[in-house]
Amino acid sequence: MFKKSLFKVGPTVCAIAPLLIPLWPQPGFAAEAETVAPPLPALAQPTPFEPVTIVGELTARDRRLPDGSYAQIQTFEGQAGQQVLINLLSNEFDAFVLLIGPNNTLVGQDDNSGGGTQARLRALLTAVGVYKVVVNTANPDEFGHYTLTITPDGSADSEVAQSEAALIAIKGPSLPTSL
């Protein structure tokens, strides 16, 4: 009894041997030099940004949130690995600040870490893109002037950088329809 075979049996012989290629060096063959890939570049360090101070005012013309508070949105370009310090100061309302990432997820929020009614938020940015800083009040129906500072964090001179930040006067910036 015979089984079917893929090879022809008989006077014709399949020539398989010439196709066999050794996978190891053979005597008498010069070994090729091993190609070495160039070293990978060091991990990119986040580009530091200049500290910014924004002097603004929350008014009844600003966006009203469902909790009855008013808000303005300021933006900055961030890079993964950057550390930022955000301070929101006001003598006229209880400051509340939120940081929203490029993918519209909440990175962090703060109410009173800056002392009294001042908001202070430290955050490590995890993605490249535009970040939104929401200037907000902790209570409904509050208005007033504020100072927002956004500075690089993690350096001993971050407090000095705040005092040397460029002042930018903001008068009722237009806000997107969604946060």
Tens-place pLDDT, residues 11-51: 444 344 443 444 334 445 444 444 444 554 444 555 567 89
Residue 98 · residue 104 · CB < 8 Å: no
- What percent of the chain has a predicted confidence (pLDDT) above 70? 59
Q: Which fold has domain 52-169?
A: Jelly Rolls (2.60.120)
pTM of the model: 0.62
| Residue 78 predicted with pLDDT over 60 | yes
Contact (Cβ atoms closer than 8 angstroms) between residue 86 and residue 133: yes
Whether the pLDDT of residue 154 is over 90: the answer is no
pLDDT above 80 (res 10): no
Give the E-state strand segments of 6-128 in sequence order: 52-58, 63-64, 70-78, 83-89, 95-100, 106-110, 119-124
Query: Residues 25, 31, 32, 35: is their CA dihedral positive or negative?
Result: positive
Domain edges within the chain? 52-169
Contact (CB, 8 A) for 142 and 58 = yes
Q: 100-127 burial string, b = 16+ CB within 10 Å, else e?
A: bbbeeeebeebbeebeebbbbbbbebee
Length of the chain: 179
Q: Tell me the pLDDT tens digit for each residue of 50-72.
A: 899 999 999 999 999 999 999 99
Q: 158 and 151 in contact (C-beta within 8 Å)?
A: yes
Cβ atoms of residues 112 and 104 within 8 Å: no
- What is the spatial order of strands in the sheet that 52-58 belongs to? 119-124, 83-89, 144-152, 52-58, 166-169
Q: What is the mean pLDDT of residues 105-130?
A: 93
Query: CA 31, CA 173: separation in Å to the nearest integer?
Result: 69
Q: Is the pLDDT of residue 87 over 60?
A: yes
Residue 11: its pLDDT value, please? Answer: 45
